[in-house]
Amino acid sequence: MSAPQTTLLPAPKRRIHPAWIVAAVAFLALVGAAGFRAAPGVLMVPLQEEFGWSTTVLSAAVSINLVLFGLTAPFAAALMERFGIRAVTAVALLLIAAGSALTVLVTESWQILLTWGLLIGLGTGSMALVFAATIANTWFAKSRGLVIGILTAGSAAGQLVFLPFIAALAQDPGWRQASLLIAAGALAVVPLVLKFLKNSPADVGVLPYGAEAEPGSPPPRALRHLAFRRPGPANQAATPPSVPCRCSSGPARCGPSGPSSRGSPSAAQPPTA
């Protein structure tokens, strides 16, 4: 008798975990936000030549930017927890784009403090190291150190990417085109953030990368429904309200199981012979 033939099935294809897609989009967002970090050193001289501003004015704008860069980070983490990573990141990129684009319209020294200092400072501060840490802690149960290192390198990579183009545009045709390049780089990442940067693994029905489901826990695909489930009348047990009734022993309250003896004189006194 010949041995039974076995059919070899192809191995299932392994999908890329959504956490790595989120990390890739976060890296691009950091690259787009880091464009301004290389801009002041290149744009200071053209601004001084055109408007005659002193180095003190431009240094003050950079100082405001650096102060807000450090002060905004703790509040950005709280906002990400309250409103979600995607919303805060998109708003931060829009602030950076607005600050860079509005720089081409400045005519007074205080306006550069508003664009370079306030708007771009708030935007870059919201995407500081706390952004990388939030992504790693939310989406990864393992390889967190690797992810934080890669995202942190995104800031340096953004400066390396934008610096040559900003320097070339600042010389010819001018510093305004260089500012618009930074704004375009920040805006280009916003659609990717809105589409792919989810707030948590539960939004796509998966566990964090490297996490294992505990015994008795719902399947990953059910996490998305549980995350948005709110208690309502349909989820609460219906309890019949107690209504007043007339009993022979006096006023009482009738509950689901019949008359209640709470407050009844006959329940407080023993029966007499």
All structural domains of the chain: 18-202 (1.20.1250.20)
- pLDDT (average), residues 46-58: 86
- pLDDT (average), residues 115-134: 86
- pLDDT (average), residues 105-125: 88
How deeply is 27 buried, as exposed, middle or buried, from its count of CB atoms within 10 A (0-12, 13-18, 19+)? Answer: buried
pLDDT above 50 (res 122)? yes
Specify the pLDDT at position 262.
44
Specify the pLDDT at position 273.
42
Query: CA-to-CA distance for 179 and 102, rounded, in angstroms?
Result: 9
Please, which pLDDT band fits residue 231 given cuts at 50, 70 and 90? very low
184 touches 94 (CB < 8 A) = no
3-state helix, strand, coil in the chain (%, to 5): 65, 5, 25
Specify the pLDDT at position 267.
44
pLDDT above 70 (res 55)? yes
- pLDDT (average), residues 43-61: 86
The lowest-confidence range among 84-93, 122-131, 235-244 is 235-244
pLDDT above 70 (res 126)? yes
Query: CA-to-CA distance for 239 and 237, rounded, in angstroms?
Result: 6
Specify the pLDDT at position 218.
56
The lowest-confidence range among 56-60, 211-215, 221-225 is 221-225
204-219 residue pLDDT tens? 888 888 877 666 555 5
pLDDT above 70 (res 236)? no
- pLDDT (average), residues 152-158: 80
222 touches 32 (CB < 8 A) = no
pLDDT above 90 (res 91)? yes
Query: CA-to-CA distance for 33 and 192, rounded, in angstroms?
Result: 14
pLDDT above 70 (res 32)? yes
Specify the pLDDT at position 3.
54
Specify the pLDDT at position 191.
92
pLDDT averaged over every residue in the chain: 76
Specify the pLDDT at position 21.
92
Specify the pLDDT at position 109.
86
pLDDT above 50 (res 54)? yes
- Three-state secondary structure call for residue 215: coil
Specify the pLDDT at position 212.
78
